[in-house]
Amino acid sequence: MRRRLGWLLLAALLGAADAFWIEPRLLLFREDVRIDLPAPRMRIAHLSDLHIRGDQRHLHRLLREVAAARPDVVVISGDLIHDVPDAKVYARVSTATAALIAGLRRVAPVYAVQGHSEHQGNLVGFLQSAGLEWLSNEGRRIGPDGSYLLLGLNTQVGSDHLAWRWPSPFRPVTVDGVRLYGATRAEPYRNFYSHYDPTPAGLADTGGPLSWSGYEMTCDARISEEKTGVGISLHSRSVEGEDRMIELSRDLSPWSQRGSFGLFEHGSALVGRNETGVSPRPGVWYHLKVRTEVEPGRVIARAKVWRAGRPEPPRWQAEAEDRSPTRVTEGTVGLWASGGGTVAYRNLRVVDHSGKILLDEPLVLPPGARAPQGFREGTRGSRLEMALARSPQVPPGTPVIVLSHMADVVREASRRGIPVVLAGHTHGGQVRIPFFGPLTTRSSLGAFYDRGLFYFAAPNEEGLTALYINSGIGMSVIPARFDCPPRWAVMEVGR
């Protein structure tokens, strides 16, 4: 019996050493994939789920191996960083990630999509300055003479057809006998938006409210619980598929931990005095006021928040500016909700700098109405629909490659006859049990689609859509990999 216990203990120690040290720190495998397409041959280095935690040794090895492979293009399926709320750790992680991107950019053009970790606007701009080209539900021509169309899908904006999606929490809510527009949900944290976007001419239409630039927005808001996230957005491009906007909000999620209302920008960064210092109390109405000014070389945002029924503060409580190349200069307005509980809104008003009223919406709903006229919950179409609409014109028969963080889009892509989908997110299970497989892949496709190459029937020349799921390099949830060492891929496509 003691001998058995001794062997079990030894096996457990060896397994722990493998999971927490050998696989995640010492191993790195290259996977070679060949996909036949009717176009000139192209070599792609496909990386995914790096979850960078700092200047790690295996990142230097990865850079050397990618350079040795001599790819024509490098693509990254999101989750580049290990997302942490600690500011010092985040700065170290961002710097290490930018250094890797700069190194990869010296090898070949680098394209990436935002995964679940890249929700910080300053990170998006920082990595772009290092040489990374983000694709946010849009396309680019790549390869020899632009013979391929690469579609990049942004996990932060939109959803996929034929895949599970979070239900929108926006609905009528009653406060003091008045039926108002609001949001109710029990799940802890996730971003939801409802934007003003009446009658666009198409998925890529940038006219109407999306052309509003420099204006003042006021709105009243009320939360039911301390944990409820609430806010408003301006200069928003979200409805057309871009994760870009200016926001005044408060959020108690682990990633934000901001109890008071503050200014921040998606896709870039507002620098200055961002916090208002006002923390809302449940069951109390507050006035939210934001004014933007667009000047050559910068965007200025000012905000103030105060309790309804009390005098307006004479000075702006928050004031910040954005001078970065990725600053958002125009866009529509919207409402934001997160966290459990209920948030209600009323008296939304938008006025430009000349005093012209752009929108005057009390947000009081008549019987039977679920939302105010002209408001859109979510985006105009699926991520893939928006990417196709926001792509350059290509000759008929041009092969299309979809780059996505999650593989769930493959059902929609295969029905459209798209020949290739590159994805990640599953980590290959990260922890795999021998003879059983991954414990979880966190995908609506199911555990069978864990890692590697799969095929789906499609109405195209080959009759197939190839799905490649990259098991990635980094780790999330727990810092361990077992029977699933880090991998990256070299893909040969074409003929």
Say what the pLDDT of residue 164 is: 87
- The verdict on residue 297 lying in a domain is yes
- Same-domain check for residues 368 and 296: yes
d(CA 390, CA 385): 9
Per DSSP, the three-state class of 233 is strand
- Same-domain check for residues 211 and 338: yes
pLDDT band at 6 (very low <50, low <70, confident <90, very high): confident
pLDDT in tens, 36-60: 999 999 999 999 999 999 988 899 9
Query: How far, in Å, are 28, 40, 124, 224 from residue 32 at the CA level?
Result: 13, 18, 30, 53
Domain boundary among 357, 376, 395: 376
- The verdict on residue 277 lying in a domain is yes
- Same-domain check for residues 200 and 142: no
- Same-domain check for residues 27 and 102: yes
- Same-domain check for residues 149 and 14: yes
- Same-domain check for residues 221 and 263: yes
Domain boundary among 335, 356, 376: 376
- Same-domain check for residues 133 and 254: no
- Conformation bin of residue 484: beta by default, left when phi > 0, alpha when psi is -120 to 50: beta
Per DSSP, the three-state class of 199 is coil
- Same-domain check for residues 141 and 241: no
- The verdict on residue 163 lying in a domain is no
- The CATH number linked to 324 is 2.60.120.200
- The verdict on residue 397 lying in a domain is yes
- The verdict on residue 108 lying in a domain is yes
- The verdict on residue 330 lying in a domain is yes
Say what the pLDDT of residue 190 is: 77
Mean pLDDT of 96-111: 97
pLDDT at 186 over 80: no
Say what the pLDDT of residue 255 is: 60
pLDDT in tens, 204-235: 999 999 999 999 999 999 999 988 999 999 99
- The CATH number linked to 463 is 3.60.21.10
Q: Phi and psi at residue 172, in whole multiples of 5°?
A: -65, 140
Mean pLDDT of 89-102: 93
pLDDT in tens, 348-396: 999 999 999 999 999 999 999 999 999 999 999 999 999 999 999 999 9
- Same-domain check for residues 260 and 366: yes
- Same-domain check for residues 113 and 222: no
Please state, rounded to an integer, the average pLDDT across all residues of the chain.
94
Domain boundary among 345, 360, 376: 376
pLDDT at 257 over 70: no
Task: Please identify which residue in the block is written with the tokens 């999306």.
Answer: 210
- The verdict on residue 165 lying in a domain is no
Domain that holds residue 489: 2-158+382-493
d(CA 106, CA 480): 31
Q: Are 430 and 387 in contact (CB under 8 A)?
A: no
* 368-405 exposure pattern, b = at least 16 Cβ within 10 A, e = fewer: eeebbeebbbbbbbbbbbbbbbbbeeeeeebbbbbbbb
- Same-domain check for residues 229 and 293: yes
- Same-domain check for residues 290 and 275: yes
Query: What share of the chain has pLDDT > 70, as a percent?
Result: 98
Say what the pLDDT of residue 259 is: 82
pLDDT at 18 over 60: yes
Looking only at the bridges linking them, the beta strands covering 258-266 and 245-251 are antiparallel
Q: What does pTM read for this prediction?
A: 0.95
Report which of residues 29 and 84 the model is more confident about.
29
- The verdict on residue 164 lying in a domain is no
pLDDT at 120 over 70: yes
Number of domains, the chain = 2
Give 232's Cβ-side CA count (13 Å radius): 27
Q: Which residue type sits at 72?
A: D
pLDDT at 319 over 70: yes
pLDDT band at 14 (very low <50, low <70, confident <90, very high): confident
Mean pLDDT of 405-433: 96
Q: Residue 261's Cα: distance from chain center in Å?
A: 22
Say what the pLDDT of residue 254 is: 63
Range with the poorest average pLDDT among 129-143, 183-197, 464-478: 183-197
